[in-house]
Chain A
Amino acid sequence: MADEEDDIILSELDDEELSEQMQDDLYDGLKEEIEEGVNIFLERGWAPYDILTKVLVKGMKTVGDDFRDGILFVPEVLLAANAMKAGMAILRPLLTETGAPKMGKMVVGTVKGDIHDIGKNLVGMMMEGAGFEVIDLGINTDVDQFLAAIEEHKPDILGMSALLTTTMTYMKVVIETLKEKGIRDELIVIVGGAPLNEEFGEAIGADAYCRDAAVAVDTAKRLISQQQA
């Protein structure tokens, strides 16, 4: 909306106002404003980890909740995630330097025969937004590619996505192979995609079915903390 309220000068806001405004701007997918806000906080001497968790992750939580609750849809969430990504691009090298704690690591991919990656990409971005390290194997991922990535990256979580009724059964193939190799129990396996449901996830031996990216984040956090407990 082009009205006088567009004239918000981020640098003139105090820390609390700026944090609130940035969460609004994240909600609206305003990428440049997020970059500006991150830089202002850095200049004010905030720790990169605090900017990530107290501003960006908190803001993305609202986006995720509203996505889960049917208030926001894919286009708005993608814009928000892109703004988040822009902020993360500034913070990531600094986080590595400062050795900030990580939530966990996830390998994610759309299964063999399937090119659909909108939901999978959202999961990747929202997981990054929640502080996870994400290794994205892309589309059309076969069981060998999943195995190689697990071997190389030693993730805590494996995420699989499928949009087609003709591809979703491939998830079972992957899980069965993990069992044969004796590594199924070393991983949390979460699955998602439009034709799936909870019962389906259970029947193929996944730890959880996640209806959308927001639920994926919540589920990943819950299962990781259960594992650590």
Chain B
Amino acid sequence: MNKLQKLLKEKGTLLADGATGTNLIPMGLDSGQAPEAWNFDHVDRIQKLHQSFIDAGSDIVVTNSFGGTARRLHLHDLQDRVVEINRAAAEIAGDLVAKSGREIVVAGSVGPTGDLLAPLGELTYAGAVEAFEEQMTGLKEGGADVAWIETMSSPDEIDAAIEAANKVGLDYVATASFDTAGNTMMGLSPAAFAQQMAGKNPRPQAFGSNCGVGASDLLVAAIDMVANADGLPVVAKANAGIPKIAGDKVVYSGSPELMADYVKLAMNLGVSIIGGCCGNSPEHVKAMAEAMRAHNGGDAPTAEEIIETLGPLVSPKSSKKSDRSNRRRRRG
């Protein structure tokens, strides 16, 4: 049995970790630099970040490999070191987990390629599978327990990443970003994504949502995911509010207290894996851990109740109808 599945069975709800990118910036990551290069150049800083989440109580540590496909590493002239970079990412996290004496899942982060798949763009489906396969080979060699496919928006690209995980022989988790009128920017709805995942063979260890436009939007999307999950565990990794500029720094509007409220609501919704994405510092994760420990049940909140507690939706669903909805012929 996969470690993630085993832990879920034991604990019921798992705490994931917080952000990678936004936490590396204060450690010295310059604008436009590849965070993945730090798996060689600044191992100590990546260790420090992971350790801070382990200390905060995370049951899952997501590796520093989000942009780890050749298609993205190319920009930093690192495209020939894909396997090495991803292996290192998994090893850095794995070593700390081993030292912690706790059961913690090493989740190998896999982000989008950044390209549109054909016919909309140049990248073929087979090319996407190949890119993910190379990355996941490194993650597996480094000891990742699962491929953590995240921040996805295109159903085809999700399929390609899952096919790669199957080829490499890694269990997987897949999460999408619902940042555009309640859907992904490619128009994938939370319900359709849940159905896509429930129909997979093999099925994911869990699926859900990360990043996007704030905790309210994410949890409202989670309502539809839970309703269509068909028994699969649901993941929520929301941003800590929205980014703001303060002097030369980017700060996120969501406080640790807000993220603690988000944990309570997520648990009441039936979400099983809860963590944070952009803007979530170790302090946020600590507050989330406490909220999880202190939680003693409650009814599933409605969308209105989520909004009341966490704030208004940034990108709500549309109820408008198109001026061109009475077209004589339509795209097939």
Q: Which residues of B contact A195 (CB under 8 A)?
A: 243, 278
B43: CB under 8 A from chain A? no
B21 touches A28 (CB 8 A): no
Minimal beta-carbon separation of A182 from chain B (angstroms): 22
B75: CB under 8 A from chain A? yes
B187 touches A73 (CB 8 A): yes
Residue of B nearest to A170 (CB): B31
A24 touches B75 (CB 8 A): no
A1 touches B250 (CB 8 A): no
Query: How far does the alpha carbon of A206 sit from the alpha carbon of B183 in the complex, in Å?
Result: 28
A150: CB under 8 A from chain B? no
Q: Which of B4-12, B87-95, B298-306, B322-330 contacts A (4 or more CB under 8 A)?
A: B322-330
Residue of B nearest to A59 (CB): B324
Report which of B32, B116, B328 forms a contact with A8, defined as CB distance below 8 A: B328
A interface residues with partner B (beta carbon < 8 Å): 1-2, 5-6, 8, 21, 23-25, 27-30, 62, 65-66, 69-76, 78-79, 111-116, 118, 139-140, 163-170, 172-173, 194-197, 199-200, 203-204
Q: Which residues of B contact A62 (CB under 8 A)?
A: 322-324
B332: CB under 8 A from chain A? yes
Instruction: Please name the 4 residue pairs, one residue from A and one from B, whose CB atoms are nearest each other, closest first.
Output: A113-B32, A70-B181, A73-B187, A70-B318
B243 touches A73 (CB 8 A): no
Query: How far does the alpha carbon of A109 sit from the alpha carbon of B181 in the complex, in Å?
Result: 25
B195: CB under 8 A from chain A? no
What are the interface flags for B1-20 relative to A under an 8 Å C-beta threshold, 1 for contact and 0 otherwise? 00000000000000000010
Residue of B nearest to A199 (CB): B244
Q: Which residues of A contact B330 (CB under 8 A)?
A: 1, 28
Query: How far does the alpha carbon of A118 sit from the alpha carbon of B116 in the complex, in Å?
Result: 8
B312: CB under 8 A from chain A? no
Residue of A nearest to B247 (CB): A203
Chain B stretch 138-195: residues in CB contact (< 8 A) with chain A: 177, 179-187
B32 touches A167 (CB 8 A): yes
Query: How far does the alpha carbon of A76 sit from the alpha carbon of B322 in the complex, in Å?
Result: 13
A-B contact pairs, 20 of them (CB 8 A): A1-B332, A8-B329, A23-B324, A24-B328, A27-B322, A30-B331, A66-B320, A74-B187, A115-B71, A118-B116, A165-B22, A165-B25, A166-B31, A167-B32, A168-B31, A168-B243, A169-B31, A194-B185, A197-B314, A203-B244
Query: How far does the alpha carbon of A218 sit from the alpha carbon of B95 in the complex, in Å?
Result: 52
A112 touches B72 (CB 8 A): no
Residue of B nearest to A2 (CB): B332
Chain B stretch 18-42: residues in CB contact (< 8 A) with chain A: 19, 21-22, 24-25, 29, 31-35
Query: How far does the alpha carbon of A204 sit from the alpha carbon of B183 in the complex, in Å?
Result: 29
Q: Which residues of B contact A164 (CB under 8 A)?
A: 21
Residue of A nearest to B184 (CB): A73
B98: CB under 8 A from chain A? no
A166 touches B29 (CB 8 A): yes
What are the interface flags for B111-134 relative to A under an 8 Å C-beta threshold, 1 for contact and 0 otherwise? 000101000110000000000000
Query: How far does the alpha carbon of A74 sit from the alpha carbon of B115 in the complex, in Å?
Result: 13
* Dominant SS among interface residues on chain B: loop
Report if A1-B329 is in contact (Cβ < 8 Å); known contacts: A27-B324, A70-B315, A166-B24. yes
A75 touches B329 (CB 8 A): no
A166 touches B32 (CB 8 A): yes
B102: CB under 8 A from chain A? no
Interface residues on B, range: 35 or more
Minimal beta-carbon separation of B75 from chain A (angstroms): 5
Query: How far does the alpha carbon of A15 sit from the alpha carbon of B266 in the complex, in Å?
Result: 56
Query: How far does the alpha carbon of A1 sit from the alpha carbon of B327 in the complex, in Å?
Result: 12
A75 touches B327 (CB 8 A): no
Residue of B nearest to A70 (CB): B181
Query: How far does the alpha carbon of A2 sit from the alpha carbon of B331 in the complex, in Å?
Result: 9
Q: Which residues of A contact B321 (CB under 8 A)?
A: 71
Query: How far does the alpha carbon of A164 sit from the alpha carbon of B182 in the complex, in Å?
Result: 20
Minimal beta-carbon separation of B229 from chain A (angstroms): 23
Q: Which residues of B contact A6 (CB under 8 A)?
A: 329
B245: CB under 8 A from chain A? yes
Report which of A24, A29, A166 forms a contact with B33, defined as CB distance below 8 A: A166
Chain B stretch 46-101: residues in CB contact (< 8 A) with chain A: 71-72, 74-75
Minimal beta-carbon separation of B203 from chain A (angstroms): 26
What are the interface flags for B243-284 relative to A under an 8 Å C-beta threshold, 1 for contact and 0 otherwise? 111001010000000000000000000000000001100000
Q: Which residues of B contact A30 (CB under 8 A)?
A: 331
B328 touches A5 (CB 8 A): yes
Query: How far does the alpha carbon of A55 sit from the alpha carbon of B179 in the complex, in Å?
Result: 31
A79 touches B250 (CB 8 A): no
Query: How far does the alpha carbon of A23 sit from the alpha carbon of B34 in the complex, in Å?
Result: 43
Query: How far does the alpha carbon of A199 sit from the alpha carbon of B183 in the complex, in Å?
Result: 23
A172 touches B245 (CB 8 A): yes
Q: Which residues of B contact A168 (CB under 8 A)?
A: 31, 243, 250
B242: CB under 8 A from chain A? yes
B120 touches A75 (CB 8 A): yes
Query: How far does the alpha carbon of A203 sit from the alpha carbon of B24 in the complex, in Å?
Result: 22
B328 touches A169 (CB 8 A): no
B22 touches A75 (CB 8 A): no
B45: CB under 8 A from chain A? no
A70 touches B331 (CB 8 A): no
What are the interface flags for B281-297 relative to A under an 8 Å C-beta threshold, 1 for contact and 0 otherwise? 00000000000000000
